[in-house]
């Protein structure tokens, strides 16, 4: 039985969410009306997973999440508005340690909940079995428990990283790195891209399952964090060394050929594929325009199997593939499927993927 704590100041949302999870045979549901009640309930009840609203009185969701991750770490799924402000808050929540997020119903919630319910249940069920990184914010937890620091407030957002403007050469790059991730992906992308130098020789194209309102803020945050120049793919853009490209949400990112060389493009989402941007479609399109020997596929944390089939084919055809190891993946769904298919040339923990990638493209 999965012990779930639903935290929301809206009595209507508590009732609706209680109905969704109460109808599932493997959930036992409790409720809290705000962050203060949630902290008390977590300390007493030790739930397996928490859903957490962002906007609440007394203590908002981000402040509550900050305390949860320092005092009693537990998998948390955020309920976030699908707005620009909601996207920024959600990315901050993922940085603080939330496992995943679900877009909160807009308009008449009671009319939207039936459509949202399958995804919500799937994500919360996956989060209940997620692996929280023991090293995440470890120093802060130690300081708190030894009394060397009071409970901190929200950690400031990542400042811009100073760097020289990268050169913008034209023509076909020597190769392309293709990265796929889902649940737990934003934090994994931090760990992958931050060690890469500004002159990294191959462009990096990323398919992270997210709504369209979130991928722009994600790209801007990664651009501030790492030495690479990072942008969201909203129009055909030439692939250049020292650059990373985040596929637009609610669409698919594909590769094509133009006079300037290889480009990344946003394509309408393929209705035959469940998750978007689709990792499988990204890899398949890349193999139509770039020799497999000049492609590296990296599949990281995420539930489901998106990317596993295409990257396994890439491996069979002579390309290079890296799967995140089970020991570090928040959810070992996508990379695990690649490993089980025999399609992973390298299996590495998250903190070793950048080094493995650098070795392959050197």
Give the chain's length. Answer: 362
Phi-psi region of 342 (alpha: psi -120 to 50; beta: other; left: phi over 0): left
Known catalytic residue: 112? no
Catalytic residue among 182, 229, 278, 285: 182
Catalytic residue among 53, 66, 209, 243: 209
Catalytic residue among 252, 278, 306, 320: 306
Phi-psi region of 274 (alpha: psi -120 to 50; beta: other; left: phi over 0): alpha
What's phi and psi for 228, nearest 5 deg? -65, 155
Known catalytic residue: 289? no
Q: How many Cβ atoms are within 10 Å of 135's Cβ, its own excluded?
A: 9
Euclidean distance between CA atoms 3 and 9, whole angstroms: 20
Known catalytic residue: 229? no
Would you give the DSSP letter of residue 29?
A: E
Query: In the structure encoding, which two tokens stand for residue 141, read together?
Result: 């937890």
Tell me the helix, strand and coil percentages in the chain, rounded to 5: 40, 20, 40
Euclidean distance between CA atoms 151 and 141, whole angstroms: 9
Which residues participate in catalysis according to the annotation?
Answer: 182, 209, 306
């Amino acid at each position: 039985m999965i012990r779930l704590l639903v935290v929301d100041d809206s009595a209507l949302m508590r009732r609706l969410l209680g109905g969704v999870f109460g109808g599932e045979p493997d959930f036992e549901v409790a409720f809290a009306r705000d962050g203060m009640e949630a902290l008390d309930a977590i300390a007493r009840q030790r739930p397996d997973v928490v859903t957490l609203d962002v906007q609440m009185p007394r203590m908002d969701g981000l402040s509550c999440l900050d305390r949860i991750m320092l005092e009693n770490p537990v998998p948390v799924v955020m309920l976030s508005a699908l707005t620009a402000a909601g996207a920024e808050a959600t990315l901050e929540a993922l940085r603080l340690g939330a496992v995943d997020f679900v877009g909160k119903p807009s308009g008449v919630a009671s009319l939207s909940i039936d459509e949202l319910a399958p995804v919500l249940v799937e994500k919360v069920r996956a989060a209940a079995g997620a692996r929280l990184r023991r090293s995440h914010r470890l120093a802060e937890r130690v300081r708190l428990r030894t009394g060397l620091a009071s409970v901190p407030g929200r950690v400031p957002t990542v400042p811009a990283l100073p760097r020289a403007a990268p050169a913008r050469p034209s023509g076909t790059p020597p190769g392309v790195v293709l990265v796929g991730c889902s649940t737990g992906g934003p934090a994994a992308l931090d760990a992958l891209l931050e060690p890469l130098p500004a002159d990294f020789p191959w462009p990096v194209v990323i398919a992270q399952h997210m709504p369209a309102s979130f991928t722009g803020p994600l790209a801007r945050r990664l651009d501030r964090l790492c030495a690479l120049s990072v942008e969201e793919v909203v129009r055909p853009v030439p692939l250049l060394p020292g650059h990373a490209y985040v596929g637009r949400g609610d669409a698919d990112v594909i590769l094509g050929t133009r006079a300037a060389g290889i480009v990344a493009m946003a394509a309408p989402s393929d209705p035959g594929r469940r998750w978007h941007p689709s990792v499988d479609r990204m890899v398949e399109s890349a193999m139509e325009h770039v020799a497999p020997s000049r492609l590296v596929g990296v599949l990281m944390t995420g539930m489901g199997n998106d990317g596993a089939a295409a990257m396994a084919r890439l491996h069979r055809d002579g390309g290079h593939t890296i799967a995140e190891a089970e020991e570090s993946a928040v959810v070992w769904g996508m990379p695990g499927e690649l490993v089980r298919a025999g399609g992973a040339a390298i299996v590495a923990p998250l903190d070793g993927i950048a080094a493995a990638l650098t070795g392959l493209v050197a």
